[in-house]
Amino acid sequence: MKYLINESNLINLKRKIDKSILNVGLYETLSRYKLPFKAANIIIEPQNEEYFTCGELSELFFYYLSQTKDIPKEIMYDNFKIVNSPDHNISDDLDFYMDTEVYFYGVTKKYLSGYGQPFYCGIGAERDKNRTTVISLEYNYYGEGEPGSRDYRDMEITSYFSNLWLEVDIKLRTLDQALEWYLNEYPKIIIDFTKDILDDIDDYIEELEFQKHN
């Protein structure tokens, strides 16, 4: 569906969209109207008329990551590639999680996988009000080297390493601002955490090797 938006039809379309969001929710409205990201950036505004809530951001990003290619699933940052794939099995109407994979391209290739959520709604607020926005990330598996090679190593790490749970104060008025944050600020936070985890894993593996030979 293509939209030619001008002043004459913008008000009418926005009225329909707002009514649909109130009746069936944001994600369902996006699915029904199939709004391109650029059109949504013009039409969809925060329901509280100030900033997008964590719940609204969750639904918006889940739609544009899973149903369209308007938001990229892969982000490159500082020798790392972050791959975010929406997980339909564990999403609900307020929050979505992503299968989050991070690849490090250094002397030794390294790989981490788990579940991430850039706009998790923290506990302590009503469903229709602003909640504390939380970045959460839980790594479950670690890989090192080339799969199938003699030196390849992989292991489950859920039990050994801490998860990221970071409250963030983000005030985003438009989808363009949200996308800018997702592409530029979110990767910095994820990779800083990832570097700490990789250091911890190196220490852990070194300790295992030491115990093996002593």
pLDDT over 70 at 95, yes or no: no
pLDDT (0 to 100) of residue 124: 53
Q: Which has more confidence, 97 or 155?
A: 155
Residue 170 confidence (pLDDT) above 80: yes
The token duo for 47 is 């329901």
| Interacting residues of 114 by C-beta distance below 8 A, sequence separation 6+ | 100, 137, 138, 139, 140, 141
Phi and psi at 60, nearest 5°, equal -60, -45
Domain positions in the chain are 1-44, 74-212
pLDDT score recorded for residue 126: 43
User: How many of the other CB atoms lie within 10 Å of CB of 133?
Assistant: 25
Please report the pLDDT score of residue 99 as a whole number. 92
pLDDT the model gives residue 4: 58
Average pLDDT value for residue range 72-79: 95
At 118 the pLDDT is 92
Residue 127: band (very low, low, confident or very high) from pLDDT cuts 50, 70, 90: very low
